[in-house]
Amino acid sequence: MIEAQHTDILLLSKLKKGNTKAFDALFRKYYPLLYTYGQKFVSMENAEEIAQDTMLWLWEHREEEIIQTSLVKYLLKAVYRRALNRIEQEKIKLLADTHYYHDIVENVLEEQDLCTINDLIHRLNEAIRNLPATYREAFLMHRFKGMTHKEIADHLDVSVQTVNYRIQSAVKLLVVELKDYLPLLLFLLKI
What is this structure's pTM? 0.51
Nearest residue to 166 via CA among 191, 125, 131: 131
pLDDT at 78: 94
Domains assigned to the chain:
2-90 (1.10.1740.10), 113-189 (1.10.10.10)
What separation in angstroms does the CA of 163 have from each of 66, 150, 154, 157, 183? 47, 8, 10, 10, 25
| Contact assessment for residue 175 and residue 185, using Cβ atoms and an 8 Å cutoff | yes
pLDDT at 184: 65
- Would you give the end-to-end CA distance of the chain in angstroms? 54
What is d(CA 26, CA 21) in angstroms, rounded to the nearest whole number? 9
**pLDDT per position in the chain (191 positions), as tens?**
566 667 888 898 898 899 999 999 999 999 999 999 999 999 999 999 999 999 999 999 888 877 767 889 999 999 999 999 999 988 888 887 777 766 666 665 555 566 667 777 788 888 889 999 999 999 889 888 888 999 999 999 999 899 999 999 998 888 888 887 776 666 665 55
| Contact assessment for residue 165 and residue 86, using Cβ atoms and an 8 Å cutoff | no
